Structure 1
Amino acid sequence: MTSSSTPGLTRFNTAEDDAARAALRAVCASGAWVEAVLARRPYPGPAALYEAGDAALAALAPADLAEATAGHPPIGRPTPGDPASAREQRGMADAPAALRAEMLELNLAYQERFGHVFLVCATGLTAVQLRDAVRHRIDNTPEHEREIVRRELGKINRIRLAGLVTAPGGAPDRPPTDGSPP
């Protein structure tokens, strides 16, 4: 598939730098990741964009990874007004109150232990699977957990990049981050 057969990618490739930067920020909150992916435009096809995203993620320093992680809401509390966040966390939407409360407690314990939100590619996971994932990972060493977070962030970024490539406007369905109305 070439850029010409993916209108979203064509729009991204030809967008002004500020617009392309904003679209990438909606994918990943790391400035270093955004600039690395932006620098390699234009992309001949989605695969090249995904590979650039993966390479940029692999190169992130710990502070850049922390910046990327900080752009994600806790599981069970998607960002209000953000359809992508709600879609990604759909598995928690109808969870029973007791499970939601347990997830909140686990999120807080995880954040206290590791200093950042519990990050998992929640797309397609049920509330029970999400709860089990945090239970399973909370006893990891910080080093091991950092590598898991990097892998999970890679999955999330690929899903969001796919949304950017297929979006009619060349940008994923995320609200603006500059305070302007959607």
Structure 2
Amino acid sequence: MSSSTPQGLTRFNTADASEAQAALHEVCASRAWGSKILAQRPYATTDALFTASDAAMTELSADDLAEAMAGHPPIGRPKPGDPTSNREQSGMSGASDELKSEMLELNLAYQEKFGHVFLICASGRTGEQMRDAVRDRIDHAPEQEREIVRSELGKINRIRLTRIAEGDPS
């Protein structure tokens, strides 16, 4: 690894396996994804970590994706006391009661149809943008939606991995 390796990435590369696994679980709840990332340490660059993450995402089975999604709270209802959930869903924090109620209804309809929470990379999106996305996606076929979810998880993982690489634990 060169001296240009970000400090957080160096810490991740040299952490003991259980500590690194715990950090990866905070990024993505899929054990299969985490195991693949862990097995390829050390990473010389953040881009190398992203490449490994993207490759691991493409290999996840439907059950692995379900496990990954189980780690994500519904949009509009971040995990209490979880700074990551709150930060990522900040676009809903100023939403009107009407929009929050609509998101709850849409989330429930989506979950009933697909059997899992509506998943979107919420960072930087407004409540209205998230509402519009669930409205658009609820009519998808399950296979189409599963691939969109895989893509959205990949985006979320990259944001969270960036925080690890930069040494920001929250």
TM-score, length of structure 1 as denominator length: 0.91
Task: Give the aligned partner of residue 141 of structure 2.
Answer: 141
Structure 1 distance, partners of 2:155, 2:5, is 24
Counterpart in the other structure of 1:9: 9
Supply the AA of the counterpart residue of 2:163: G
Matched, 1:127 2:133: no
Write out per-residue CA displacement over residues 92-118 of structure 1, whole angstroms, 9 at most, x where no aligned residue: 001000010000000000000000000
Equivalent-residue separation in structure 1 for 2:54 and 2:42 (angstroms): 16
Aligned counterpart, 1:74: 74
| Partners of 1:153 and 1:138 in 2: CA distance | 17
CA RMSD, Structure 1 to Structure 2 (Å): 1.2
How do residues 98-137 of structure 1 correspond to structure 2 at under 5 angstroms?
98-137=98-137
**What is the 5 A alignment of 1:37-116?**
37-116=37-116
1:25 & 1:5 partners in 2: Cα distance? 22
List structure 1 runs of 4+ shifted beyond 3 angstroms: 1-5
2:154 is aligned to: 154
Q: Indicate if the aligned counterparts of 1:4 and 1:10 stay in contact, CA closer than 8 A.
A: no
CA shift, 1:5, in A, is 3.6
Judging changes above 3 Å, is the alpha-carbon distance between structure 1 residues 114 and 135 closer, same or farther for their aligned structure 2 residues? Answer: same
Contact 2:5 2:44 in 1 (8 A): no
CA distance in 2, matches of 1:136, 1:150: 17
| Change beyond 3 A, Cα 1:58–1:9 | same
Residues 54 and 154 in structure 2, CA contact (< 8 A), matched pair in contact too: yes
CA shift digits 1:72-98 (9 cap, x unpaired): 000000111111110100000010000
- Deviation of 1:11 after TM superposition, in Å, equals 0.4
Gaps of 5+ in 2: none
Question: What per-residue deviation string (whole Å, max 9, x for no partner) do you get for residues 118-157 of structure 1?
Answer: 0000000001000000000001000000000000000000
- Structure 1: runs of 5 or more not aligned: 174-182
TM-score by length of 2: 0.97
